[in-house]
Structure 1
């Protein structure tokens, strides 16, 4: 898959297939190249694959499997890849903690507010 010129790639990581599909389709409609993963392990495989150039990862903090969204964020940070990270959670307290751990912030609460996510992605792109 070749990357379209000026099209940012967003990796949406969420174990809830309905939530993941809805936000992914919205982001595609907004002109982003969107790749989906259901677990943190799948997300790492996508990020490490040479044919994908991921710019932003939007991940739920509570993922199925052994790697949570928090763990995924830590591994991305340690990898020194230039990937920006957004974490979301169904619980506001957990979302606030996610915002504290991601240097790019913010704390996003599920269910996803599509316009809010788009706004945060635009802010990340502007940095």
Structure 2
């Protein structure tokens, strides 16, 4: 049974998360601040940490730094702050994921499952052939894609575009660069070929293709996957 440590100074939030995790079969331990969380991690086998940013005694950012000194346990950070700098700070200090309060408990639960699944795969020798992004798993060796456990059928070109973007998270690729990387020929003229394939990809992997959470458009520049 996986044990999840929930660290938040708000007891009501801890209780809500506890109920949802317990109903999914997880063992849950609670802590009200970063110092207590560190004590627990040093003495208890923890498979995942849900860590609030704003807490007394030791905040979540410092707790994340301290946890990373002794453990590679996945960390999902929670914060009421929405500024990008807070997200960047959390992730660069070692967090694996980040959610803004107020959050949907079911979405948090899905992210917990994704992080635990990633952690279990890391012990597999085939892990290096996999790219995991949220609920999307791309197997480069088998040229297969699964979303929330369901197989997604892609054409070879669609798969190559997805693999290119997913292999470089955060990097923006222009239409020209995607074309030359995937089609292996000079981009010599402007057409809608790449855009059409991106649209088809979104129809297959995005729950709401017009509001994509995987393949993002950077207007005037190109496409990227976070």
> Aligned ranges for residues 88-99 of structure 1 at < 5 Å?
88-93=78-83, 96-97=87-88
Q: Secondary structure at the match of 2:72?
A: coil
Q: Secondary structure at the match of 1:120?
A: helix
Q: CA deviation at 1:82?
A: 3.3
How large is the Cα RMSD of the aligned pairs? Answer: 1.7
Q: Distance in 2 between matches of 1:117 and 1:95?
A: 18
- CA distance 1:30–1:98, shift in 2 (3 Å): farther
> Aligned ranges for residues 77-92 of structure 1 at < 5 Å?
77-79=68-70, 81-92=71-82
In the alignment, which residue of structure 2 is the partner of 1:120? 111
Alignment partner of 1:61 is 2:53: yes
> Aligned ranges for residues 27-38 of structure 1 at < 5 Å?
27-38=21-32
Contact kept? 1:87, 1:95, Cα under 8 Å: no
TM-score by length of 1: 0.83
Alignment partner of 1:8 is 2:8: no
Contact kept? 1:8, 1:32, Cα under 8 Å: yes
In the alignment, which residue of structure 2 is the partner of 1:4? none
Q: CA deviation at 1:97?
A: 2.9
- CA distance 1:95–1:116, shift in 2 (3 Å): farther
Which blocks of at least 5 consecutive residues in structure 1 are unaligned?
Answer: 1-6
Q: Distance in 1 between matches of 2:88 and 2:63?
A: 15
Q: Distance in 2 between matches of 1:102 and 1:111?
A: 22
Contact kept? 1:88, 1:107, Cα under 8 Å: yes
In the alignment, which residue of structure 1 is the partner of 2:142? none
Q: CA deviation at 1:99?
A: 5.0
In the alignment, which residue of structure 1 is the partner of 2:101? 110
Structure whose alpha-carbon radius of gyration is higher: 2
- CA distance 1:117–1:102, shift in 2 (3 Å): farther
Contact kept? 1:98, 1:107, Cα under 8 Å: no
TM-score by length of 2: 0.48
In the alignment, which residue of structure 1 is the partner of 2:19? 25
Which blocks of at least 5 consecutive residues in structure 2 are unaligned?
Answer: 119-226
Pairs aligned (count): 117
